[in-house]
Amino acid sequence: LQQSLNSPEVASVLDARLSLLPSSQRNAFCVPSNKALPQTDTSLQASPDADCVYLVGNSLGLQPRRTRELISEELDNWANLGVNGHFCGKRPWLPIDENVISKSAAVVGALPSEVAVMNSLTVNLHLLLVSFYRPQGKRNRIMYEAAAFGSDFFAFESQARVHGLDPKEVLLPLKPREGEETLRTEDVVAAIEAAGDTLCTLCFGTIQYYTGQLFDVAPITAAAQKVGGKALWDCAHAAGNIDLKLHDWGVDGACWCSYKYLNSGPGGIGGFFVHERHHGKDLPLLAGWWGQKQASRFDMGHEWQPEADASAWRLSNPPVLQTVALMASLEVFARTSMSELRGRSMLLTAYLELLVLELAGEGGLSVITPSDPKSRGCQLSLKFPSERLCLETFEGLERRGVVVDHRKPNVIRVAPAPLYNNFSDVQRFAKALAESMQEAKGEPAAKKAKS
Amino acid sequence: LQQSLNSPEVASVLDARLSLLPSSQRNAFCVPSNKALPQTDTSLQASPDADCVYLVGNSLGLQPRRTRELISEELDNWANLGVNGHFCGKRPWLPIDENVISKSAAVVGALPSEVAVMNSLTVNLHLLLVSFYRPQGKRNRIMYEAAAFGSDFFAFESQARVHGLDPKEVLLPLKPREGEETLRTEDVVAAIEAAGDTLCTLCFGTIQYYTGQLFDVAPITAAAQKVGGKALWDCAHAAGNIDLKLHDWGVDGACWCSYKYLNSGPGGIGGFFVHERHHGKDLPLLAGWWGQKQASRFDMGHEWQPEADASAWRLSNPPVLQTVALMASLEVFARTSMSELRGRSMLLTAYLELLVLELAGEGGLSVITPSDPKSRGCQLSLKFPSERLCLETFEGLERRGVVVDHRKPNVIRVAPAPLYNNFSDVQRFAKALAESMQEAKGEPAAKKAKS
Ligand SMILES: Cc1ncc(COP(=O)(O)O)c(C=O)c1O
Ligand SMILES: Cc1ncc(COP(=O)(O)O)c(C=O)c1O
């Protein structure tokens, strides 16, 4: 049976059955063809014009078909209306972010009032830290996971420095147990309790970018708050991937990027969340005119009267092209729901896991992502026994029109994006993986001839 | 003679003579037509299809003809290459800001190493303040002009608060002398000397957004530095307008937006300058992975090894659409030079002044912008005797296809942009101004019939 699961026929039956779900939105996206990709060896491809196998929405999501149209409309408005576009046209620019607030909120499980769409991820992380990392006396520590994404770490470290604190003394990294790949919730909670009233702020990636582990946001947040700390979450790999419930989980603040699972294009606009309970409390923040109440924003007075919700954190007038690029994708999300998507995504990733595990035995390949679907999103991280085997397998996949990503030293991340990937993508990936590993293990001569 | 200067014939002779200068680049831009503007009354227009009179580049610059093409190319790359666009294509995305650094530097008079293109203006102002507003003991004051743009003021105030300081105690606003509209350099320098070792940071708008005054950047900067302070300049209204010399003037840090005279579109990307003398000094800053040396940026290590120049302040991966939108405009700037542009711009604004002053006597209209061309950029700010007259004149201008902007209570800002405006624009403006003022002063019944 397992053998037959890994066949184009089974995959296409699954796709046919499930393609009617609203969570299956492949047609709304531009999928690169095999031949358009720079590394594809078309002699290894059934069809150069067919869709490539794009499993790297964890890095850059595909382009919605509607993006070009929305951008073109705004270019028309700019050309025809000039500065009047701020007030006129289908989507006046001054409040253009209103077109993406509710839909963003729906994607991350927030109230619209809790969300701002602005800046970029690392900028937003800093803005959150300014408000939620307020070291005082011994309550000055930032807890994070030791393998945090570099940019997040640099944010923590530089914030400590800006406060005149020694990063070595205030940064508190958590590591998995010896011999384990991922952190256990019980250990995180124990570390929080041990930190006690020295914990100022906890900040984790909701889904760890390298291992694919999805943390237990609610209990970790609750534990941090219980000792008097604040809990921030970097949702870069979670927004548009899993059914986040930022509001219900009681998260203090969160940020995300939109160029991964939210398909807003390279360097797309960032997302920002501040829980309702912090609104109107005059928290310290870095202020700008776009956080000023709309009624008085353009009076140019010098009396700070902030908006009553997360909008108070906005700084600048909104970037129009970036905003409508996100809008194009959020319109696709609005046809389904994150819980719907999550359901189909769990099946897709389970299918991927099944097919990968078939190969895992022989090659020394392992999956470091948790096997419990509730502890992961769509991504699986495959660990290879050697860097060489990893890299050569990766190149073999590329030659076969499979786009995944390689993370040093020996991990390949494979992410069937909930919105647009299908079972056939996964099956084609598994086939190409088997071939590529075979090739990587094969004789150098044979490999040379191929490449 | 003056009467004949204010005629279409004279204006078109001037245009014909000067249109061969490289500083005259009107054809590179999309100028809205009279009829495309929402408020135009085409019955008052000679030709509905003719270009409107667009004199509001101080608010939103016009769209370069090439913008659409460059954006389309990047949308193609995204659609066809997916994540591979980071490394492949005509302009790989990871270093895409390299396409705009040198040209931006040329525009603001900086070394390329002193410039980063990123974020938005108010965000960049905060990043500068984090590095250059480091209050210690009694050296804790921020000096600014009392009528600073709201967003800048909110930045100063909130930075003081974040440092736990009372804004009332540390903010030091400077006002013009009683009865004067603009600040005198001697008074600014005297105030700096009076502040002495309490001055931590001075931050001015290089060109005051309301009055159009261009400050004496070099002597003010030198004075601030002489008492041990730092000098920051918000170049929102100066970049692409005057021939800035940020490097030579010894400015510590500067920021600007690109949607005004730099024509990058609504909410376009921001500019950022840190003087060479501060590079590699490990100044406190808010760090992100894009400030990490490129060689180790993608290793995901946690050792902060910043880039050796202004790039160290970058936080996030670059926004591609925003970056190429700016590039389209900078390519036009690269056909000329800021000193060339400034030369023609001085003539244009002098012509504007001449024609406006003809009308000034009768209507109680005055120009609050300094009359010395070295103390202003292209913009003139016209002050009306009453808010009503100002607003009604503004509406009359709008009906005649003239786009300028109104600033409460009684100022109309008129900005012949150096790159694309011409003498005919100015002449048509003056004619429409005369008509609109006449109309505004006329009987209510007559006005009603028109509007
Ligand atoms: C002088 C000045 N400073 C700051 C700003 C705020 O710019 P942004 O919304 O891009 O942050 C503006 C906007 O017009 C401005 O004119
Ligand atoms: C987990 C995580 N945090 C932060 C970042 C940095 O994002 P940006 O460059 O948009 O600031 C990334 C980028 O991939 C990421 O994956």
DSSP A318-340: --HHHHHHHHHHHHHHTTS-HHH
Which of B209, B215, B235, B322 has most ligand 1 atoms within 8 Å of CB, for mutation? B209
Give the Å distance between the CA of B121 and the centre of ligand 1.
6
- Exposure string for A260-290, b = 16+ CB within 10 A, e = fewer: bbbbbbbbbbbbbbbbeebbeeebebbbbbb
Report the amino acid identity of residue A220.
Answer: I
Query: Alpha helices of A112-264 — where are they, by DSSP H?
Result: 121-132, 150-162, 167-170, 185-195, 217-226
List the A230-234 sheet strands across, edge first: A115-117, A271-274, A253-256, A230-234, A199-205, A141-145, A171-174
Structure tokens at A136: 């005082």
A20-29 residues labelled b (16+ CB within 10 A) or e (exposed): eeebbbbebb
Going by pLDDT thresholds of 50, 70 and 90, the confidence category of residue B76 is: very high
Amino acid identity of B333? F
Return d(Cα A41, Cα B58) in angstroms, integer. 52
**Residue B316 CA, ligand 2 centroid: distance in Å:** 7
Picking from B258, B280, B335, B313, the residue whose alpha carbon sits closest to that of residue B104 is B258
Contact present, A237 and A152 (Cβ < 8 Å)? no
Residue B416 — pLDDT band, cuts 50, 70, 90?
A: very high
CA-nearest residue of chain A to B404?
Answer: A83
- B271-274 and B366-367 as β-strands: parallel, antiparallel, unpaired? unpaired
Tell me the pLDDT of chain A (451 aa) as tens digits.
Answer: 455 788 888 898 888 888 778 888 999 999 999 999 989 998 887 689 999 999 999 999 999 999 999 999 999 999 999 999 999 999 999 999 999 999 999 999 999 999 999 999 999 999 999 999 999 999 999 999 999 999 999 999 999 999 999 999 999 999 999 999 999 999 999 999 999 999 999 999 999 999 999 999 999 999 999 999 999 999 999 999 999 999 999 999 999 999 999 999 999 999 999 999 999 999 999 999 999 999 999 988 999 999 999 999 999 999 999 999 999 999 999 999 999 999 999 999 999 999 999 888 767 899 999 999 999 999 999 999 999 999 999 999 999 999 999 998 999 999 999 999 999 999 999 999 999 999 998 855 444 444 4
Q: Considering just the CA atoms, what is the radius of gyration of chain A in Å?
A: 23
Record: contact A150-B315, CB cut-off 8 A:
no
Q: What is the pLDDT of residue A362?
A: 66
* Ligand 1 neighbour B148 (Cβ under 6 A): no
- Residue A3 distance to chain B (closest CA, Å): 32
Q: List the single best residue of B286, B293, B303, B304 to mutate versus A (max A Cβ within 10 A).
A: B286
For residues B306 and B287, is the Cβ–Cβ distance under 8 A? yes
Please report the pLDDT score of residue B444 as a whole number: 54
**How many Å lie between the alpha carbon of B415 and the closest alpha carbon of chain A?**
13
Report the distance separating Cα B25 and Cα A414, nearest Å: 49
Amino acid at A350: A
SS (HEC) of A344-376: HHHHHHHHHHHHHHHHHHHHCCEECCCCCHHHE
pLDDT of residue A364: 84
**Is A30–B79 a contact, with Cβ atoms under 8 angstroms apart?**
yes
Residue B376 has pLDDT above 70, yes or no: yes
Q: Is the CB of B353 under 6 A from ligand 1?
A: no
| pLDDT 10s digits, B256-293 | 999 999 999 999 999 999 999 999 999 999 999 999 99
Question: Chain A contacts of B39, Cβ < 8 Å?
Answer: 84
Smallest CA-to-CA distance from B95 within B317, B297, B279 is with B317
pLDDT at residue B450, rounded to an integer: 46
Write down the H helix ranges in A196-319. 217-226, 294-297
Cβ atoms of A123 and A182 within 8 Å: the answer is no
Residue of A96, A37, A287, A201 lying closest to B129 (CA atoms): A287
Q: What pLDDT was estimated at residue A19?
A: 76
Sign of CA dihedral A233, A236, A237, A241: positive
Helices B67-81 and B320-333, interaxial angle, to 10°? 150
Higher pLDDT, A23 or B177: B177
Does the pLDDT value for residue B449 go beyond 60? no
Confirm whether the ipTM is greater than 0.90.
Answer: yes
| Residues in chain A closer than 8 A to B257 (CB atoms) | 316
In this prediction, residue A445 carries a pLDDT of 45
Taking an 8 Å cut-off on Cβ atoms, the answer to whether B302 and A123 are in contact is: no
Residues of chain B contacting A291 with CB distance shorter than 8 Å: 154
CB B287 within 8 A of CB B304: yes
Cα B316 from Cα A225, distance rounded (Å): 29
